[in-house]
Structure 1
Amino acid sequence: MRLALLGVRGSTPAPGPEFVRYGGHTSCVAVLPDDSDVPRLVLDAGTGLRGLGRLLGAAPFRGSIMLTHLHWDHLQGLPFCPSVDRPDARVDLRLPGGGDPRRLLARVMSPPHFPIDPGGLGGEWRFLTSDDGIVEGYTVRVAEIAHKGGVTHGIRVEGDGVSVAYLPDHCPQIESAAAEKLAWGVDLLLHDGQFLAGEQAQADAYGHATVADAVAFARRCDARRLVLTHHAPGRTDDDLDALGATGVELARQGQIIAVGSG
């Protein structure tokens, strides 16, 4: 299994020359099987989803997109990605939260807030609630984790002999039992690292992790490798270079990670 990191920024996109090396698009990760470069499972649909076409070429996306939650930075790419919004696309959109999934999405994607509602997307769409099971050939588990502002899921994906836990928005210093169970022993933990130690109060207030929180959580979970994502929108390339020099591994937009190596 490989992960194509299409968006690694948190909260809001970060355009400009000082955000080129790590990227400015918000959360989106495509899962690539060992035997193919065509993704059928995508985690989150932030503005990074627009980059899906670089993996698919002229082909439509036919697979599943799983959202960790419904904050803007995790779904704003949906109506702006030609690969999923075309007549020959087939998309199962899976999202957390109670009630009808399509109605939940329509609360943030419909007039007057946006020109179309979910039914205006091209192709064949199904709107489903995220559950444990087999998704596009992968064993997937979800768990509700601590993050402010609505139901948020962590996602565990197993396949090709390896395991990944994806928790881009998580406040492990408040509550982490369910998240620790979900991420226990994974080959790769892709985790929220939006704030620094001196920003602990902000992290707590917004329901995110500091880098130290994420490192401690990874150790408690016995994760084999930790990669920090959901970088703060004001954290420049130079800032992130300085952070990486302390020994933590940082996600970069456009990077493809081979799970189980490194």
Structure 2
Amino acid sequence: MQLTFLGTSAGRPTRTRNVTSIALSLPEPQCGFWLFDAGEGTQHRMLGSRFKLNKLERIFMTHLHGDHLYGLPGLLSSRSYFEGAAKLDIFGPPGLKRYLDTVFELTGVHLGYELNVVEIAEGIVLEDERHIVEAAELQHRLPCFGYRITERPQHGPLNLKRLAELGVPAGPLYGKLKRGEDVTLECGRTVAAADVVGKPQPGRVVTILGDTRPCDNAVRLARGADLLVHEATFAVGLEEKAAAYGHSTFGQAAETARAAGAKRLVVTHFSSRYDDEAVAELANGVKPIFPDIEPAVEMADIVIPRPPLTNS
């Protein structure tokens, strides 16, 4: 699992930053990616990268402000040109379907794949074999959501040396054992999964918030997260300005991470008034509040390692 920031600017692009979009790369066997928001120019950021639109599996929109949305119709249209583009699910606030239907109707777009738009409310919005995604409403000028992505625990690794000693042939039996099923060999011996499979690997929790003032739901979504992505539009000292526009300061993002007990904080959505040097200084300035803070960097990957196995 890793995050790549395709845009980190608030409101409008700058010479060095695009507007908001984040790609979440999924591990094997999926090897696809999810997208969180799609500001103008998102598909341009993907050109020359490893991200191909036929590998895009799901999109999660936080809200309908243009710096998070205007790249979506073009991206969806371009996806029709990619061979193997399968059904695509998009999750987002009420009004998203009407927006897309209107744009496509007026521009004569016909997608070459099935598009499923899900307008969400608070609660669990997705459950599959590997993930649970929960949404909660934040405090912004438009209805805006944050997402908590919980990776389910994964099966433990096979003890290949022990399997060889027991005479278990490689193939389908390995898969059954990894799924926790005991197997019987041709010789009649039963091999218990518990004897050849290691402890389950804990899943990871990633919280990606849309634009927001400090609020209880931000803390709840980020509780114990391995990685929290939080906006930091303004510098410390501009709390009143941030509140007026429905945003947070660097200090408020750090306070949310601390209150939630998050393990790591990446801030993004920076006002165009701050260049990269200023952003780095602002992040360093709030490390007394939350030491494990770092500013997002355009097109840089942030790896999210698995939590260590416990002895229990």
TM-score by length of 2: 0.69
Structure 1: any 5+ residue segments left out of the alignment?
Answer: none
Contact 1:52 1:83 in 2 (8 A): no
Contact 1:39 1:55 in 2 (8 A): no
Cα separation, partners in 2 of 1:242 and 1:79, compared to 1, 3 Å: same
Number of equivalent positions: 243
CA RMSD of aligned residues (A): 2.7
2:209 is the alignment partner of 1:167: yes
Query: Which aligned pairs between 1:3-152 and structure 2 lie closer than 5 A?
Result: 3-15=3-15, 19=16, 24-35=17-28, 38-47=31-40, 49-50=42-43, 51-53=45-47, 54-57=49-52, 60-81=54-75, 84-86=79-81, 88=83, 89-90=85-86, 91-97=88-94, 101-106=96-101, 109=103, 116=107, 120-130=110-120, 131-134=124-127, 137-148=130-141, 150-152=142-144
Q: Distance in 1 between matches of 2:149 and 2:12?
A: 26
The C-alpha deviation readout for 1:94-132, integer Å capped at 9, x for no partner, is 1112x6x4214456x468xxx627x55553322212352
Match of 1:154 in 2: 146
Deviation at 1:241, TM superposition (A): 3.1
Deviant stretches of 4+, over 6 Å: none
Cα separation, partners in 2 of 1:5 and 1:38, compared to 1, 3 Å: farther
Structure 2: any 5+ residue segments left out of the alignment?
Answer: 153-202, 288-292, 308-312
Contact 1:87 1:124 in 2 (8 A): no
What SS class does the counterpart of residue 209 from structure 1 fall into? coil
Q: Distance in 2 between matches of 1:60 and 1:83?
A: 10
The C-alpha deviation readout for 1:215-252, integer Å capped at 9, x for no partner, is 11111111111111111123212322332443441001
Match of 1:189 in 2: 228
| Bigger mean CA offset, 74-83 vs 221-230 | 74-83
Cα separation, partners in 2 of 1:28 and 1:38, compared to 1, 3 Å: farther
Matched AA of 1:96: P
2:277 is the alignment partner of 1:259: no
Q: Distance in 1 between matches of 2:71 and 2:129?
A: 21
What SS class does the counterpart of residue 47 from structure 1 fall into? coil
Match of 1:202 among 241, 257, 261: 241
Q: Distance in 2 between matches of 1:138 and 1:83?
A: 27
Which structure has the higher relative contact order (CA within 8 Å, separation 6+)?
1
TM-score by length of 1: 0.81
Contact 2:144 2:210 in 1 (8 A): no
What SS class does the counterpart of residue 249 from structure 1 fall into? strand
Cα separation, partners in 2 of 1:137 and 1:253, compared to 1, 3 Å: same
